[in-house]
């Protein structure tokens, strides 16, 4: 992999690392920025999803992970660590998550569990050298209606 380390927040003019938040109205602009920065965009829409396991299953499906990753949190974490296997041609990957609000309201604990797994995966996937074919730049961009930074 020849991609240099970059922070998606710097590319998009946002604050944060690993988990970035933005108002849903900025979605087209920010997704175009992701693509311009060389990221493969993976869409995750959880509109109407109010429970952790349903969101986990949707996440696993969106990222083309094994079915077990949608049912078992350890399997999800392990599969995220193997993104190079599932996305061999995507050294830079952004999960563009829309409509998380119902999950955040109805299953706050579940929301934070998924956030933690995604953030940990971001940390583990990049080893800093850029010459390991398993290195991945992986971040999550969460679009929330009415979000004000």
State whether residue 94 is helix, strand or coil: strand
Topology annotation, domain 8-144: Barnase; Chain D (3.30.370)
**DSSP per position, 128-145:** SSS-STT--EEEEEEEET
Chain mean pLDDT for the chain: 91
Tokens for 38? 């060389």
Q: How many helices (H) and strands (E) does the chain have?
A: 7, 4
What distances in angstroms separate CA 105 from CA 11, 25, 74, 81, one per listed residue? Answer: 30, 20, 24, 28
Q: What is the pLDDT of residues 84-112, one digit of tens each?
A: 999 999 999 999 999 999 999 999 999 99
Q: Terminus-to-terminus CA distance in the chain, angstroms?
A: 33
Task: Tell me what the mean pLDDT of segment 25-44 comes to.
Answer: 97
Q: What is the pLDDT of residues 52-74, one digit of tens each?
A: 999 999 999 999 999 999 999 99
Instruction: Report pTM.
Output: 0.92
Domain ranges of the chain: 8-144
């Amino acid at each position: 992999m020849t991609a240099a380390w970059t922070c998606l927040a710097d590319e998009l003019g946002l604050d944060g690392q690993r988990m970035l938040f933005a108002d849903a109205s900025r979605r087209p602009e920010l997704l175009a920025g992701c693509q311009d920065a060389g990221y493969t965009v993976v869409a995750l829409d959880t509109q109407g999803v109010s429970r952790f396991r349903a969101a986990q299953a949707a996440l696993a499906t969106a990222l083309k992970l094994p079915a077990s990753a949608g049912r078992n949190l350890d399997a999800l974490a392990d599969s995220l660590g193997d993104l190079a296997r599932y996305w061999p041609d995507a050294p830079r990957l952004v999960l563009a998550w829309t409509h998380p609000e119902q999950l955040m309201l109805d299953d706050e604990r579940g929301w934070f569990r998924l956030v933690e797994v995604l953030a940990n995966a971001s940390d583990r996937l990049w080893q800093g050298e850029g010459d390991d074919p398993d290195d991945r730049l992986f971040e999550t961009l969460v679009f929330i209606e009415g979000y004000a930074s």
